Structure 1
Amino acid sequence: MSRTVMAVLGAILALYVVFGLVLPALFGLVKFLVVLALVAFVVVAAVTVVGKFTK
């Protein structure tokens, strides 16, 4: 009986860790990477435009 209770508690804890800690961290990382990619795109576009106008 205690083995079943511990298995259920372990499953609940695993779900808490996945949905409470891992997924928000992954979404935060994805948002950071998207913002970083947008900044890099703007910098590359600005350098390209300035390079074309100076010729």
Structure 2
Amino acid sequence: MAIMRLWHGRVSIEKSDDYEKFMIERAAPDYGSIDGLLKTYFQRNDKEKESHFLLVTI
């Protein structure tokens, strides 16, 4: 049986490109180094004043 973890974060729209770059270049590889990790999913959803980020790990 696998465990699914969800992480949600949000940042102002002005910071969203920098935060996405951080998530892709730093955070996702860190998660990838965890023993037993099967898959990661990453989503960005831009709204009017902020961006929402969702990271799913299995």
Smaller-chain TM-score range? 0.3 to 0.5
Structure 1 or 2: more helix by fraction: 1
Structure with greater contact order relative to length (CA < 8 Å, sep ≥ 6): 2
Task: Kindly indicate which of the two structures has a greater share of residues assigned to strand.
Answer: 2
Larger Rg: 1
Please, what TM-score do these two structures have when normalized by structure 1? 0.33
